[in-house]
Structure 1
Amino acid sequence: MLIREAHAEDWAELWPILWEIVAAGETYCWPTDTTEEAARAWWLEKPGGRVFVAVDDSGIVLGTAEMHPNQPAAGSHVANAGFMVASSAAGRGVGRALAEFILDRAARDGYRAMQFNAVVETNTAAVGLWLSLGFDIVATVPEAFDHPTAGLVGMHIMHRMLDRPVE
């Protein structure tokens, strides 16, 4: 697997991944009927953002990550990121590889910490991954996410300093 900067021509493979995850409504706060145009803007065009893709040996996109400042100006030393993995690549280590890559890239880009503002507590795979990579749950906002099957569930705010290597 290779992780590289995303190119404009990757969008044709990125959109189905984003659409499937967003339409499920289980892990992102995006409207489940998000248009391709809105998704493209949200994923690819954040101020100060960078987008990466994980591709297999034949160049097929398996997943993507986007990284950007968590806040502007005085909060811009803390990174934020989003991750999406194709359902066909689930369980193959793509999410972990993207996470480790992004944590390293954020540190090399000068960020001091990584903060996730909205990790849905029922997304146990993501929560477990972040905890295994040294993140702390600094707060859980009760009933902040309306899950399509579990109802109102909490959203974790997770944080990790980047002054230590990825384990």
Structure 2
Amino acid sequence: MTSSSASITIRPLEPADWATVWPILHSTFQAGDTYAFSPDSTEAEIHKAWVELPAATFVACGAGGEILGTYFIKANQAGLGAHVCNCGYVVAPAAQGQGVASLMCEHSQRQAVAMGFRAMQFNLVVATNERAVRLWQHLGFAIVGTLPGAFRHRALGYVDAHVMFKTLVA
């Protein structure tokens, strides 16, 4: 499923995209403030987690074809919980604040329904990542639980994390 909005196109990740996606992911994870991946994760570990294990991985591209962000979609649990998906989104630093994350999240919800998922869950939304919490709430996700001190923020130490959920299919 490919999608476009104004000058941003979202399409499946192609193998050649990895050379651009990896530095975006690497810098995000090294910051240690939004994702549970170890800041020391290797390229092979992140490739496996972001590309190989998920059901699908996408990139958001600007008008000139430049990669602005990426997201994956996968079942949140196996077996009897496999109807709920989980996604992760990362926007390139230069593209932040331009609506890329919002477009990717909206795309992922349509993609999830097309793939047979009935709901979407974010397992560890860092509470201090207020921009993300606000965006997910704006897009219809509810905080269904708060995990005290569940995230070891690189600068702030132990901070809370939220579990956020949205039903996609009634």
TM-score, normalization: structure 1? Answer: 0.95
What SS does the aligned partner of 1:160 have? strand
Tell me what 2:95 maps to: 89
Deviations, residues 47-91 of structure 1 (Å, cap 9, x unaligned) = 5x1000000111110000100000011111001000000001011
Q: CA RMSD in A?
A: 1.0
Aligned letter for 1:41? K
- Does 2:23 correspond to 1:16? yes
Structure 1 ranges of 4+ moved more than 4 A: none
Q: How far did 1:148 drift?
A: 1.6
**Which of 98, 123, 127 in structure 1 is aligned with 2:129?**
123
Percent of aligned positions with the same letter in both sequences?
Answer: 44
Of the three residues 30, 41, 45, the one matched with 2:37 is 30
Q: Residue 149 of structure 2 aligns with which residue?
A: 143
Q: Does 1:64 align with 2:70?
A: yes
Q: What's 2:4 paired with?
A: none
Query: Which runs of no fewer than 5 residues in structure 2 stay unpaired?
Result: 1-7
Listed one character per residue, the Cα deviations across residues 67-119 of structure 1 (whole Å, up to 9, x for unaligned) are 00000111110010000000010111100000000011111211110001110
Distance 1:146 1:37 in 2: 23
Report the equivalent of 1:112. Answer: 118
Aligned residue among 23, 39, 49 for 1:42 = 49
State how far apart, in whole Å, the 1-side matches of 2:139 and 2:64 are: 29
Q: Secondary structure at the match of 2:64?
A: coil
Quick one: distance in 1 between partners of 2:46 and 2:83? 25
Instruction: Give how far 1:149 is off.
Output: 1.7
Give 2:64's aligned amino acid: S
1:112-144 deviation digits (Å, cap 9, x = unpaired): 100011100011111111100111100000001
Match of 1:159 in 2: 165
Distance 1:152 1:100 in 2: 30
- Aligned residue for 1:14, secondary structure, equals helix
Aligned length: 163
Mark the runs of 5 or more structure 1 residues left unpaired by the alignment: none
Deviation at 1:163, TM superposition (A): 2.3
Aligned to 1:100: 106
Aligned-partner Cα distance in 1 for 2:9–2:79: 32
- 2:138 aligns with 132
